[in-house]
Amino acid sequence: MKTKLCGSCGADQLAPFSNETFEIEHGGQTVRVAGLSGKRCTACGEVYFDAKSAKKYAAAGDKLVLDEREAMSAEIRRIRKRLGLSQAKAARITGGGHNAFSRYERGEAMPLPAVVNLFRLLDKHPDLLKEIA
């Protein structure tokens, strides 16, 4: 590693570490990534992974994001079908574009939290659909 100064605080106190385990948290899920090496600033705690570890850490983070998107797609589809809504009607109710639900359910886009929250409420209280549909 060429870096001699901490890119975060500017201190000249980078110390090597090796074979450590880091946790990544995303969307309520946590994954542990073991065997990571690099340098750590002893002044501010900033971590600089070596190239191999950075790749490993990034891949684990990407997988968490994809897993979350997949779980969200499945949940949105399940609730929409339970409510007996077409994708077009679900989009009209939530204000998305006409193909919004197609994109959510294929994992091409993440629905806004307001859409997810509305669907979760309707999942628990499907009788309320008649108030808005």
Instruction: Report the residue from 17, 26, 46, 63 that binds Zn ion according to the rule CB under 5 A.
Output: 46
Stretch that binds Zn ion, among 1-9, 15-23, 61-69, 120-128 (CB under 5 A): 1-9
Closer CB to Zn ion, 9 or 71, in the complex: 9
- Judge contact between 115 and 79, C-beta under 8 A: no
Listing DSSP states for the chain in one string gives ----S-TTT--S-EEEEEEEEEEEEETTEEEEEEEEEEEEETTT--EEE-HHHHHHHHHHHHHHHHHHHHHHHHHHHHHHHHTT--HHHHHHHHT--TTHHHHHHTTSSPPPHHHHHHHHHHHH-GGGHHHH-
**Nearest distance in Å: CB 39, Zn ion:** 10
Residue span 12-41 as binding mask against Zn ion, x where in contact by CB under 5 A, dash where not: -----------------------------x
**Nearest distance in Å: CB 26, Zn ion:** 24
- Based on the shown chain and the rule CB under 5 A, indicate whether residue 9 belongs to the binding site for Zn ion: yes
Instruction: Report the residue from 3, 8, 18, 29 that binds Zn ion according to the rule CB under 5 A.
Output: 8
| Residue recorded with tokens 């499907």 | 126
Closer CB to Zn ion, 54 or 116, in the complex: 54
Closer CB to Zn ion, 41 or 72, in the complex: 41
The footprint of Zn ion (CB under 5 A) covers 6, 8-9, 11, 41, 43-44, 46
